[in-house]
Amino acid sequence: MAYLPCEIVDTQSNVDAAVIWLHGLGANGHDFVPIVPRLNLPDSLAIRFIFPHAPSIPVTINGGAVMPGWYDIYALDMEREIDTPQILASSKAIKDLIEREIAQGLSSERVVLAGFSQGGAVIFEAGLSFDKPLAGLMSLSSYFATYKTIEPHPENESVPIHIFHGDHDDIVTLPMAQHALEQLKKLGRLPEYKSYPMAHEVHPQEIDDISAWLQKVLA
């Protein structure tokens, strides 16, 4: 099977958990690699961080320019008109990465999905519809693109979810994060939510909070 190319960082040699972390539009798998040492995780957590590279595609909102992206975006309105088959294909590619970790001996319940911006939209689709229980879903400055079409799987009806967002985000606006929160609650999920005085970026306090949340769900 052909898997997405990935950057991989193991925090210890005896890995017993994995975090699959998706970048945003126009970035790549290297984007969040530097955050791993900044998480200051305890030695007791042996995590494999997996940072996949999205394929390069033409992006309509950027004049058709070719760049790394998980799916095409047709319009930057509140609903975000997107290429649904592409986001489903990206979701399938992430599920394949989860299955690879399981095949190598990890329990699905030791796998966290994380994603920034576009990447967060993909992890909602992939994680909520995955047919084995996961450790958690983490959305960074993102939105719930497939809330109308998603087919949630009962195995992840109680998966821990945390939404992190910027109060001053002008790319994925605060109402879009709040809309994701509302739609997840309609699906019976109970996501945690925290915002920061930032734009479409990552805040230092957010890194500390991500670390604390990972330690909680992977304890």
Q: Which residues are catalytic?
A: 117, 169, 200
CA distance to 41, 68, 70, 87, 114, per residue, from 123 (Å):
23, 16, 11, 10, 6
Angle (CA) 121-206-77 rounded to 5° is 35
Taking the C-alpha atoms of residue 214 and residue 135, their distance in angstroms, rounded to an integer, is 9
Helix (H) or strand (E) segment spanning residue 74: strand 73-75
Cβ-in-10-Å burial (0-12, 13-18, 19+) of 209 comes to: middle
Residue listed under structure tokens 């394929």: 55
CA distance to 99, 108, 123, per residue, from 55 (Å):
20, 25, 16
200 DSSP 8-state letter: S
171 DSSP 8-state letter: S
Taking the C-alpha atoms of residue 145 and residue 122, their distance in angstroms, rounded to an integer, is 8
Tokens found for residue 106: 């990890």
